[in-house]
Amino acid sequence: VSGAESRALFEFMAKEYEARGFTPQETSTLRALPIFESRSGAFVPLTGGEFFICPPNMTAGGGRDALLKYQHPAFYAALGVEELDETALLEKFTLPSFASLDSARQAEAVDKIMANWARVSERPALLDKLRSLPFVETHGALLRPDQLFDPRRPLLKTVFGEDPVFPTGKFATEDWLTVLRVLGLQSQVTADVFVHCAR
């Protein structure tokens, strides 16, 4: 079956669904047909893995084969295909592939974290991923939030001075420091900090 034929059959089935719906048996049979176009251009059956759709203006760092071309969302919903919002896209695809992204795509992902923080902060699994992810650029290196200290604490600034242990650039803004605190940015004077003082 050619790509053009797969597209035509998909369009026909989508219109049939809109006109009359499908029985569970018909839905099961339909899911097994390789007529569903992924963002990478491949035509796949829905029985071959977990597939999703998301609006075309949303980009993901990975998962192009698991993301289907956005069309007929009601039809896809009837077939059991979940539509992802920006936050779910971050969690499922962008963050797991973060280390392999180029610097521009990493910066875009980081901006999405801030832009969607209200929703991100409500997803415990996503927060856990962010806590363990080296995404905070500091002096040319990417570090986890818990590897850095809060520069708003005067004692920490006094102890560490110019040591590269504080977020820099956009991560040193008030908004980002508040987010990083939630993700593990150190703000307490601990025993380890006292040991550093002694040195």
Q: Per-residue pLDDT for 62 more than 80?
A: no
Which whole number is the average pLDDT over 181-188?
A: 93
Distance CA 113, CA 179 (A): 9
Q: Which amino acid is at 27?
A: T
State residue 170's pLDDT score. 94
State residue 154's pLDDT score. 84
Q: Per-residue pLDDT for 63 more than 70?
A: no
- Residue 194: Cβ within 10 Å count: 10
State residue 193's pLDDT score. 63
The whole-model pTM stands at 0.79
State residue 42's pLDDT score. 92
Distance CA 95, CA 44 (A): 24
